Amino acid sequence: MHKLKSTLKYLTHLHFVLLLLIVLVFTEDILLYMDHHQPELNDNKEAFSMGLRFATSGENIQNYIQTELNLCGTFDAASATRQRCYKDFAELLHNQYTFAETVKYFDDSNGAYDCHDLMHHVVNLEYQSGTSLPKIYELCTPACFGACYHGGLEGYFLDHDLAGASRQTLEQTIVDLCNSVSDKKDQCYHGVGHALMLISNGNLPETLKVCDALERQGGQSECYAGIFMENLPTSTAITEHPIKYLKADDPLYPCDSLDSKYVEQCYNFQTSYFNYLAKSDPTKVSEYCKLVPSFYTNTCFQRMGAFALSMAGSPINNQIASSYCESLTTSEVQFCIQGIVDSFFDRFHEDLPKMYAMFNFCNSVKSIYVGSCYNQTGIVIRGLTPEIKQEACGQIENAKYKNYCLNPKIN
């Protein structure tokens, strides 16, 4: 009996020791998990001083992202503070959600938020965490004006120390990279333009020369576009490199000083600089557009349509979008409305049901612009397959406007 009691006592002590060990190991695992998932956040005092925060327990991703993006939006659009806010918020997202979850949220939001710059940072962090460029492209969508396809290239260029590489090495690297994502080559070449500006410290003339070599691959124009976009004061450039090629007292610069082969893409993005100078006032933006050489003037008004759609919320409020354009003079309105159609296509061409919302938009504009609007729908989808074009234009009930869609007049 005494021996039995001793044995039970021994087993009780052993059970206690084992239980204690389990608790200690479990506690260590929790601490390691927290260290792994929140290292940047524990030290990121600047992010929290801006008012950024973790998602609260049970808070859905939609409410969380909307709240924090609205907070970043309170800072001046062209300020380093807003870009710092986006960069810090990207770290918060990276440490709380999977990359796929973040991309899906912005894809589902139908372009309601100005998330392009934020997404550059999100993707860059995903690349730095070890996800390959082809895998990132596999998970990406056109959300945030294609920013998902661009940020990873910036990370790749930095990671492979391409800042000091020869032009020949750069050119071969670019070709190999974009061939690795063959179904997204245009987006890749555009992202290359951003990345070249980053590693050159904003040296616009030199980066344009690198893009010159991509003519045979068909990536030249998209590469130029990425460069001019990165030259804007409303881009991630504010915190990543100096912007050397803009002048408030010469709003057409650098477009008015470049070789003719660069001018079209330069003016395409210079409209965003006009919008920055005009503080988003459409009538003031239009005054800047009138300064542009006549060959590019209508394109400038058309590019204003992108701003109109960005201001239209989610779900997209067609009245807000069309009212922006209709604040212009009659001769300018139709080009702005065409630009809204362009933006619908740019955002949603990989998600046809969302893209079809452009037909509802055309129904909402004043009658004198409806025909031009539907004609533009035909222009933007003309590169799609005949089957998809038939399906798209089949959404239109009015026979005349359906014909505009199927057989658009191209000026």
243 neighbors 229 (Cβ within 8 angstroms)? no
Where residue 365 falls (left for φ over 0; alpha for ψ -120 to 50; beta otherwise) is beta
What pLDDT score was predicted for residue 237? 55
Low-confidence ranges of the chain (pLDDT < 70): 1-49, 78, 110-114, 235-241, 314
Cα–Cα distance, 349 to 352 (Å, whole number): 6
How many Cβ atoms from other residues are within 10 Å of residue 313's Cβ? 14
Tokens of 50: 């801006």
- Report pLDDT digits (tens) over 248-290: 999 999 999 999 999 999 999 999 999 999 998 999 999 999 9
CA 310/CA 319 separation, integer angstroms: 13
Instruction: Determine the pLDDT at residue 8.
Output: 40
For the beta carbon of residue 110, count every other beta carbon within 10 angstroms: 18
pLDDT at residue 154, rounded to an integer: 83
Which residues neighbour 335 within 8 Å (Cβ) at sequence distance 6 or greater?
Answer: 298, 299, 301, 302, 304, 305
Say what the pTM is: 0.79
Task: Give pLDDT, residue 337.
Answer: 97
Supply the pLDDT for residue 5.
47
**What pLDDT, on a 0 to 100 scale, did the predictor assign at position 245?**
94
- Please report the pLDDT score of residue 342 as a whole number: 96
